[in-house]
Amino acid sequence: MQSTNRLVHNVFFALKDNSLEAKKHLLDACKNYLTGHSGEIFFAVGTLAEELNRPVNDRDFDVSLHIVFQSKADQDRYQEAPRHLQFIEENRANWKEVRVFDSVVEE
């Protein structure tokens, strides 16, 4: 069986206003602007699992975004897509910190 390399794009947002309403606003914006891009084979967005507070848990975020792309080229196109750029423009004012973890994975 031949392995296929995928690009996994994980983004962790810490918010200036991290109220429930602000988190929901960002979740809805992710669903609206960041789904359905060419080459996107998996999409998920969520919030910090408050109940998991072990020493190894990184808790410095409020909202997490997870997208798996067919290839790096697909992720490169996503970065310049008008909907992605509009998402950034409309939401970045509330971002305290954004951390991006991209990795190449094999199936």
Residue 93 belongs to domain with CATH number: 3.30.70.100
Q: Check pLDDT > 50 for residue 1.
A: no
What are 63's two structure tokens?
Answer: 């909202």
Asked if the structure places residue 72 within a domain, the reply is yes
What residues make up the domain containing 92? Answer: 5-99
What are 80's two structure tokens?
Answer: 């310049």
How many CA atoms does the CB half-sphere of 95 hold within 13 Å?
15
Asked if the structure places residue 81 within a domain, the reply is yes
Paired residues of 40 in beta bridges: 69
pLDDT in tens, 37-93: 999 999 999 999 999 989 988 899 999 999 999 999 999 999 999 999 999 999 999
Asked if the structure places residue 107 within a domain, the reply is no
Give dist(CA 74, CA 38) in Å, integer. Answer: 6
- Laid out side by side, the sheet with 63-69 consists of 40-47, 63-69, 5-15, 95-106
CA terminus-to-terminus distance, the chain: 10
